């Protein structure tokens, strides 16, 4: 798989918003173009977990996060959840890859069922049908049998299920270190080079 240039990142209402925001930051720093989608509940979670206010106006969010992360002009594009003329809504202009981080069980179930009731679900459906990489980052515990069945169904379609399960062999010293471990594993799935964590077997 070639290294993707345009990556869609969807933020949904599961706990774990620092993972998604850090992913956006790192992708922009690595020179990738990011198409950002976010749900209404994601706005609530961002405020609760990060004191981050995401406007309901996509253009304002693009300016806010673009300035925060030093994005180049046009590098970060933000789309509303009902913006059906956005590029990721069509197989004629899909992203190179997509990540849903954090991913609610409701979003995961909708994607598994092939629903397209909002732009996040539609974009995921497009990525699957066009054979592009899709990474879902659920942050839930415990998993019910229904959750696991939905994940298995998607995994059989080639979707990467990457739960937000940090490891501790890197001896994290901060919450940021824990966040970076998960984000590094996401980037690895996208084949985006990164140095967020020390690699197993490498000397310090």
Along the 204 residues of the chain, how does pLDDT read in single tens digits? 566 799 999 999 999 999 999 999 999 999 999 999 999 999 999 999 999 999 999 999 999 999 999 999 999 999 999 999 999 999 999 999 999 999 999 999 999 999 999 999 999 999 999 999 999 999 999 999 999 999 999 999 999 999 999 999 999 999 999 999 999 999 999 999 999 998 888 755
Q: State pTM to two decimals.
A: 0.96
Secondary structure of residue 136 in the 3-state scheme: strand
CATH class of 6-190: alpha beta
């Amino acid at each position: 798989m070639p290294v993707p240039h345009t990556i869609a990142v969807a933020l949904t209402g599961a706990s774990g918003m620092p993972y998604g925001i850090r992913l956006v930051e790192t992708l922009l720093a690595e020179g990738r173009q990011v198409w950002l989608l976010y749900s209404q509940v994601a706005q609530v979670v961002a405020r609760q977990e990060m004191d981050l206010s995401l406007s309901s106006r996509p253009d304002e969010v693009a300016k806010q996060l673009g300035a925060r992360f030093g994005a180049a002009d046009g590098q970060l594009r933000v789309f509303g959840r009902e913006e059906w003329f956005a590029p990721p809504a069509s197989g004629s202009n899909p992203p190179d890859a997509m990540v849903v981080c954090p991913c609610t069980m409701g979003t995961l179930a909708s994607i598994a069922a092939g629903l397209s009731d909002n732009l996040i679900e539609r974009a995921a459906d497009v990525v699957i049908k066009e054979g592009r990489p899709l990474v879902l980052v659920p942050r839930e515990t415990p998993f019910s049998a229904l959750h696991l069945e939905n994940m298995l169904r998607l995994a059989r379609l080639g979707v990467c299920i990457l739960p937000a399960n940090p490891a501790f062999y890197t001896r994290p010293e901060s919450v940021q270190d824990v966040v970076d471990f998960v984000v590094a594993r996401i980037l690895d799935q996208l084949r985006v080079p990164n140095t967020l964590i020390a690699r197993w077997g490498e000397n310090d």
